[in-house]
């Protein structure tokens, strides 16, 4: 699907910028939460919890995956107000099932991201899609 909304394009670009702040050498992820009036409520990128050193841990996937806080989770944690009715934009791909659950619980009603063809995550993304569908969350996945 081509991006048909100028606002979707702008906020996906913002999520890409926020993703660039991550120190993760392999996958930089960004999230932007926007209210119904297109005001930015929060930003997040993937990284370790505050106060934890990322020296040498980022290169060890086994440890990194156990410790890292996902971009979506960081955006939700630092949200200035409850994001009920808001939209979350994620880059470079849609949320994993754990983040999808948190997004659903907070009352976000729309998720906008890019479609990923990465085989490694295909089952995870399929589960997230099903979760959003069952919860009545609008999901838009654009082609990169």
Q: What is the DSSP string of 76-114?
A: HHT-SS--TT-EEEEESSPPPHHHHHHHHHHT--EEEEE
**Which of 62, 72, 124, 138 is an active site residue?**
72
How far is the C-alpha of 141 from the C-alpha of 112, rounded, in Å?
A: 6
The first and second tokens of residue 40, run together, are 């930015």
The first and second tokens of residue 69, run together, are 């806080």
Is 138 designated active site?
no
What is the Cβ-side half-sphere exposure of residue 123, based on CA atoms within 13 angstroms? 1
Active site amino acids: 72
């Amino acid at each position: 699907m081509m991006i048909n909304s100028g606002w979707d394009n702008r906020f996906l670009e913002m999520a890409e910028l926020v993703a660039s702040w991550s120190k993760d050498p392999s996958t930089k992820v960004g999230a932007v939460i926007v209210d119904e009036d297109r005001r930015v409520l929060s930003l997040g990128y993937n990284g370790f919890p505050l106060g934890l050193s990322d020296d040498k841990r980022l290169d060890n996937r086994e440890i990194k995956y156990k410790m890292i806080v996902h971009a979506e989770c960081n955006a939700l944690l630092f949200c200035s107000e409850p994001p009920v009715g808001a939209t979350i934009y994620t880059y470079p791909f849609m949320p994993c099932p754990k983040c999808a659950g948190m997004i659903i619980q907070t009352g976000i009603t729309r998720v906008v991201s890019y479609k990923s063809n990465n085989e490694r995550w295909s089952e995870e993304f399929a589960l997230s899609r099903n979760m959003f569908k069952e919860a009545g969350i609008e999901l838009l996945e654009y082609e990169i």
